[in-house]
A and B are shown apart, each in its own frame.
Chain A
Amino acid sequence: MLSTTFLGVKLKNPVIAASGTYGYGREYESLFPLETLGGISVKGTTLMPRSGNKPPRIAETASGMLNSVGLQNPGVDAFIANELPYLKTKDIAVIANISGNSPEEFAELARKLDIDGVDILELNISCPNIREGGKSFGADPVTAAAVTRAVKAASKKPVMVKLTPNVTSISEIAKAVEAAGADALSLINTLTAMRIDIRTKRPILANNTGGLSGPAIFPVAVRMVYEASGAVKIPVCGMGGIATAEDAVEMMMAGAACVQVGAAIFRDAYAPKKIIDGLEKYCLDNGNISEIVGAVKLNERDNEW
């Protein structure tokens, strides 16, 4: 009842572990099998290994957290050699999340990952565009489209472009990447945020700022998924603060064909499993899961009342 097809890939359920929050799928195996999930988006991968930002990288906030991990990862070659073989043995959709400094680097990553075991490419366009003074690719429709085009030309895999919420108009970016050939969108990435230790007058994160995630961002994510999915014809994978099955239903009603769960896992490692179980129950009472995608009915907005 929960199974669905997303970008031609069969998902046994629409719940995917979000990039950067589930490693390469090994950490929680003793709690419940990785194969319980519909899919996993692996830790963001770059061309060369990255050591990430200095600690502290984590700050807590009401109903959420900030992170400034800085894309620490062993590089794409090590991912292919050491992590992908393990994921290949699992009956689960594998989403390779990639980050580059330029469209060419994104394309190079996509070429390397155009291999067996990778089901979908997810482009993390929240990362800074070094050539354009560090502004993120995803903050500008032109650069967002350039990255999408470069990857589409380099790979036969379905391409899902992950949008940053740190923009004024999410629909503008959504339309631009759709026109550039994206097969799907995923959103939202983290919201740029800051916490200050009032005793030391210093930011808690060594990087000063970081990305906000967790239930604190859920309503923002719902609004953005609603707007983006309304602006394009390609499917949308929704995320941002999902912690319960009800959250997942709400996100799907806003327009998400499937969802990713991230920070909620840190509070309750069983969260993805509970969400899947809850969705199953929801379907027993309400029918097939695909029927709720985009099912939100807007209120009439009369000026007179």
Chain B
Amino acid sequence: MEIYQKSCEVLRYNKLTDTVHDVWVNAPDIAEKALPGQFVNIMVPGFFLRRPISICEVEKTNIRLVFEERGEGTRVLGGIKPGDNLDVLGPLGNSGFSVDRYSSAILVGGGIGTPPLKFAQQNLEKSAAVLGFRSKANVIMAEEFRNATVCTDDGSFGFHGNTLRPLERLLLERVFDVIMACGPKPMLRAVVALADKYNIPSEISLEERMACGAGACLGCACKTVADSIVSYPRVCKDGPVFDGKAAVLC
């Protein structure tokens, strides 16, 4: 796996909500190699560890990153402006969404899990998206997806409720090959259960606290069980996307 660590210029910056930032950075090497589901690890001034952020999409020599302020590091990262430089390590992850294996997919995004699904959709022939957010104020990127059903927990925008009912409706149509999902663990658990019920494969993107992001430190292990063989793969290098059936979401 070829990875790069480069200081990359921020080209464009946009705020999607009060706490969600949208940046384009010039990263030619990473852009050339990036695949849907992969991520980068970003150095944040004043913090020891880098912050992992998914690649939302790629355009020529540039990559797009969409991230939410969750704590101190992402808050500092949110202060960047065009012209600033970000030190970026990537593209990371050997296993992304299998856009080459499947031609059609249902994409399920929960909140800030939505961005990497755009990259996946751009590489799929046929797809539908179900995107869930807490409230209208938290909705991001809805208009950027094709065939999207947007849900809000409080009903202030789109479908009232979480992503599961719209997902089940799509599953009943039985025209898609796979579910690809990214979002909070409870959502992933429910998505995998539905995939099971309708006997369709699922691919889920996992998160874990990371140090190196490149497979060297074993800081980010998760647990999988496939054919009753238990393994402890690294989310950063062996993932971050795993077979929903195999991943143990503890």
Query: A residues bordering B, Cβ < 8 Å?
Result: 20-23, 26-28, 30-31, 43, 51-52, 54-65, 67, 69, 72, 214-215, 263, 265-270
Contact = CB atoms under 8 A, between A and B. Distances in A.
A59 B47 CA distance: 12
B222 interface: yes
B215 A56 contact: no
A279 B219 CA distance: 30
A90 B217 CA distance: 21
B148 interface: no
A58 B211 contact: yes
Contact of B218 (A20, A28, A65, A269): A20
A26 B212 CA distance: 13
A60 B219 CA distance: 12
A42 to B, nearest CB: 11
Contacts of B237: 27
15 contacts: A51-B232, A52-B232, A54-B250, A55-B220, A57-B220, A58-B209, A58-B211, A67-B211, A215-B48, A266-B212, A266-B217, A267-B43, A267-B48, A267-B50, A269-B214
A137 to B, nearest CB: 22
A173 to B, nearest CB: 27
A23 B215 contact: yes
Contacts of B222: 55
Interface string B131-144: 00000000000000
B232 A72 contact: yes
A58 B3 contact: no
Interface of B: 1-5, 43, 47-50, 73, 87, 89, 208-222, 230, 232, 237, 250
Contact of A55 (B48, B221, B230): B221
**Residue of B49, B210, B213, B250 most packed against chain A (CB within 10 A):** B49
B4 A30 contact: yes
Contact of B5 (A43, A215, A269): A269
Contacts of A56: 208-209
A31 B5 contact: yes
B221 A72 contact: yes
A67 B217 contact: yes
A21 B48 contact: no
Nearest to A27: B216
B214 A69 contact: no
Contacts of B221: 51-52, 55, 57, 69, 72
Given A58-B209, A62-B48, A267-B50, A20 B217 contact: yes
Contacts of A65: 48-49, 211
A20 B43 CA distance: 21
Nearest to B236: A27
Given A20-B217, A52-B221, A265 B48 contact: no
Nearest to B215: A27
A214 to B, nearest CB: 6
Contacts of B232: 51-52, 72
Contacts of B5: 31, 268-270
A214 B50 CA distance: 13
B72 to A, nearest CB: 9
Contacts of B218: 20, 23, 43, 52, 57, 69, 72
B47 A60 contact: yes
Nearest to B47: A60
Given A27-B214, A63-B48, A65-B48, 17 more contacts: A20-B217, A23-B218, A27-B212, A30-B2, A52-B218, A58-B49, A58-B211, A58-B220, A61-B48, A67-B217, A67-B219, A72-B221, A215-B48, A265-B212, A266-B49, A266-B217, A269-B214
A57 B48 contact: no
Nearest to A204: B209
Contacts of A20: 217-218
A55 B217 contact: no
A64 B209 contact: no
